[in-house]
């Protein structure tokens, strides 16, 4: 059975940064589901959203996420913030291994993402209101999907990585 470590959470919660360092520490492959999507669509996610809209993006996202439980070797997998929206995806993520929810408040995320232009769902309008809305809808879904929840408000990336490694050891995942 694949025994990957999967990171879920809202945009800006540190999935990619933490994931890269965690993979290095564990000596396993790092996989970013958004990068896999971009390879498949041959363009940026932002551009794809503009051209085809969110539903089309979610369809590609589902195809990529369905493949994760079948990775040939265990990896650290960081996912896009909306990867938990479809119930099929939630199942695929749990099948892939241990799922960690990097939980941050919408306010913290807003400060981290103020100058970011790569995230289509946060462009224009009122990004803080959008993050609050996303949090309301998604927080229960992240919690439903995850085996563990880590508050990412204060801890540094290195601390988060250590916390994840500790949890994996405690849960007997042979790190
Ligand atoms: C999305 C988050 C993005 C990316 C896409 C949709 C979302 O990933 O998958 O723009 O719905 O929250 P990040 O969480 O890495 O920003």
pLDDT of residue 171: 86
Inform me whether the pLDDT recorded for 1 exceeds 60.
no
Inform me whether the pLDDT recorded for 16 exceeds 80.
yes
- Give the residue-averaged pLDDT of 3-23: 96
How many whole angstroms separate alpha carbon 174 and alpha carbon 69? 19
How many whole angstroms separate alpha carbon 149 and alpha carbon 131? 19
Banded pLDDT at 144 (limits 50, 70, 90): very high
CA neighbours closer than 13 Å in the CB half-sphere of residue 163: 18
Nearest CA to ligand 1 atom 12: 81
10-14, 111-115, 136-140, range with greatest mean pLDDT: 136-140
67-86 pLDDT, tens digit each: 999 998 999 999 999 999 99
How many whole angstroms separate alpha carbon 131 and alpha carbon 19? 22
Specify the ligand 1 atom closest to the Cα of 121: 10
For the question of whether the overall pTM of this predicted structure is more than 0.75, the answer is yes
Distance from residue 161's CA to the centre of ligand 1 (Å): 21
pLDDT of residue 153: 76
pLDDT of residue 134: 97
Banded pLDDT at 29 (limits 50, 70, 90): very high
Length of the chain: 175
Out of 38, 101, 119, 121, give the residue to mutate to test ligand 1, the one with the largest number of ligand atoms within 8 Å of its CB.
119
Residues sharing a CB contact under 8 Å with residue 37, sequence separation 6 or more, in sequence order = 45, 57, 60, 61, 64, 80
Residues sharing a CB contact under 8 Å with residue 34, sequence separation 6 or more, in sequence order = 45, 78, 79, 80
How many whole angstroms separate alpha carbon 148 and alpha carbon 170? 12
Specify the ligand 1 atom closest to the Cα of 120: 10
Specify the ligand 1 atom closest to the Cα of 119: 10
How many whole angstroms separate alpha carbon 25 and alpha carbon 14? 16
Distance from residue 122's CA to the centre of ligand 1 (Å): 9
pLDDT of residue 118: 85
How many whole angstroms separate alpha carbon 41 and alpha carbon 14? 24
Banded pLDDT at 2 (limits 50, 70, 90): low
pLDDT of residue 125: 86
Answer for the pair 148, 167: CB distance below 8 angstroms, yes or no: yes
Q: Which residues line ligand 1 (CB under 6 A)?
A: 11, 34, 45, 80-82, 119-121
């Amino acid at each position: 059975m694949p025994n990957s470590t999967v990171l879920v959470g809202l945009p800006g919660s540190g999935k990619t940064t933490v994931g890269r360092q965690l993979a290095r520490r564990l000596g396993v492959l790092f996989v970013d589901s958004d990068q896999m999507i971009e390879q498949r669509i041959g363009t940026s996610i932002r551009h794809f959203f503009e051209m085809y809209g969110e539903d089309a993006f979610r369809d590609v996202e589902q195809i990529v996420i369905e493949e994760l439980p079948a990775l040939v070797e265990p990896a650290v997998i960081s996912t896009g913030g909306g990867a938990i929206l479809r119930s099929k995806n939630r199942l695929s993520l749990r099948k892939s291994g241990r799922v960690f929810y990097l939980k941050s408040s919408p306010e913290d995320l807003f400060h981290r993402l103020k100058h970011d232009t790569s995230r289509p769902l946060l462009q224009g309008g009122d990004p803080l209101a959008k993050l609050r809305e996303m949090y309301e809808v998604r927080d229960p879904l992240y919690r439903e999907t995850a085996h563990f929840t880590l508050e990412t408000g204060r801890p540094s990336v290195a601390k988060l990585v250590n916390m994840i490694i500790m949890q994996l050891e405690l849960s007997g995942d042979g790190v």
